[in-house]
Chains A and B, each alone.
Chain A
Amino acid sequence: MNFDEIADRIEELHQGAVQARVGEPAKDPYLRISSESLVEVMRTLHADRDLAFELLISVTGMDWSTWTPKMPRVKKGDEPLPEPESPVSRYEVVYHLLSVSQNHRLVIKVACADDERPAQPTLTGIYPAADWLERETWDLMGIDFQGHPDLRRILCAEDWVGHPLRKDYEFPTEYHGISAE
C-alpha cells in the first residue's frame, strides 16, 4: 500500500484520529495523530491484515523550542515542495513503522500537549520493542510514557540530572567529583 491508501484506511477506521496528513510530494510523508487515539491507531496498524506493521523501528523525541522556518531545498526543474508544517507543540514524538510482509513504511507524529511535563501513552502493550526505545526517549528528552512497565534511564547514569537532548539542557560542571570544566 502507498501512503495515501494507508492514510485513507486509518481515517476510515478511526474517525477524527488523524489531525494532519502530509503526503506526496513531501520528502518524508507522515500522519499526525492525536495523543488520545494513538494507542488505538497503533493497535490497528499492528493487527490489520492489510496494514500489518509488524515492526516499530524507532521512537524519537523532538524539541521544537529553537526551531526557525527554513524551506527545503529542491533541485532545479523540480516542482517546489510544500511549506513545512510549523511546530504544533514544543515536544513531539515520532514513530517509524515498517511492514515486512507488505513492504511499506509509515511515519506517525504525535504532539505532546503539556510543554512542562510532556507525556504520551506507552506502546509497550502492542510493540515490545517500544520498551527500550521509550526508555531512551525518556532518558534523553524527558518524555513521560504513561503506563510503561519500567521507565528508567537507559543510557545516562541512574543519578543523572536533566534530559541532555532538550534544547535548554545545562551541561553539568561536575560529576561525582570529576570536573567537567
Chain B
Amino acid sequence: MGILENSLEENVLTTSVDRLANWARRSSVWPMTFGLACCAIEMMAVGCAHHDLDRFGAGAFRATPRQCDLMIIAGTVTYKMAESIQRLWEQMPDPKYALAMGACATGGGPYYKYGYHVVKGVDRIIPVDIYLPGCPPRPEALMDAIMALQAKIDRDRVIRKRPGQVLEA
C-alpha cells in the first residue's frame, strides 16, 4: 500500500510519522462519484447539505477513479457491471478503500435467491474494507461506516511492517 510502506524498519521515530500519514489519509477520504442502485440515493443525501459528509473530510466526490481513495459500492452489483467495477477499482491509486453499502453489495441482498443477474456480494470481485448493512442504510449509517473506515485507517501502520508481515528483500 503506497510507496512509503515497508520503507523503514520499526523504531520509535516513525510512530509519529505514522500518525501524521494516517491523519492525512483519514482526513481526506475522497469517494468516487459512483452509484449503482437505490442505495446511491442515500449516498447522495449524505453528500448534500443536511448531512454534509464534508465534515469528515469525505465529501469531495471525484468524477475519476484516479483521484479517489474510497469506492462506495452503493447498490446492486450485476454481472454485467462487475467487470467495470473491477476495472475502476484497479484504476484507483493506492492507498484505496472499498465500502460495501447496503444488503446488495454486501451479499446479494434481496436478489440473493432469485436474482439470476446479481453478484452475491461485491467481495467476490474486489477486496472490501467495511460492510454496511441495511436496505438502504440510512445516511447516518453511511456516515458511521465512513467514521469506522477512518478509525481503521488510523490503526494502519503506514511505514512500519505489520505484525507478522515479512519484509521483501
Contacts and interface: CB of A to CB of B under 8 A. Distances in A.
A180 B113 CA distance: 10
Interface string B45-86: 000000000000000000000000000000000011011000
B125 interface: yes
A27 to B, nearest CB: 27
B79 A157 contact: yes
B80 A156 contact: yes
22 contacts: A156-B80, A156-B117, A157-B79, A157-B80, A164-B116, A164-B117, A169-B116, A171-B116, A172-B116, A175-B79, A175-B82, A176-B79, A176-B82, A176-B83, A178-B79, A178-B82, A178-B119, A178-B124, A178-B125, A179-B124, A180-B119, A180-B120
Given A172-B116, A178-B119, A179-B124, 16 more contacts: A156-B80, A156-B117, A157-B79, A157-B80, A164-B117, A169-B116, A171-B116, A175-B79, A175-B82, A176-B79, A176-B82, A176-B83, A178-B82, A178-B125, A180-B119, A180-B120
Contacts of B125: 178
Q: Is the interface of A mostly helix, strand, loop or mixed?
A: loop
Interface string A110-130: 000000000000000000000
Interface residues of B, number: 10
Interface of A: 156-157, 164, 169, 171-172, 175-176, 178-180
Interface in B124-140: 124-125
B82 to A, nearest CB: 6
Contacts of A180: 119-120
Contacts of A171: 116
Contacts of B120: 180
Interface of B: 79-80, 82-83, 116-117, 119-120, 124-125
Contacts of B116: 164, 169, 171-172
- Among B79, B83, B124, chain A packs the most CB atoms within 10 A around the CB of B79
Contacts of A175: 79, 82
A102 to B, nearest CB: 37
A164 B116 CA distance: 7
- Among A169, A176, A179, chain B packs the most CB atoms within 10 A around the CB of A176
A33 to B, nearest CB: 32
A172 B120 CA distance: 12
Report, nearest first, the 5 A-B pairs whose CB atoms are least far apart: A157-B80, A175-B79, A164-B116, A171-B116, A178-B124
Nearest to B82: A178
Nearest to B77: A178
Nearest to B78: A157
Contacts of A164: 116-117
Nearest to A174: B79
A179 B118 CA distance: 11
Contacts of A156: 80, 117
Nearest to A162: B116
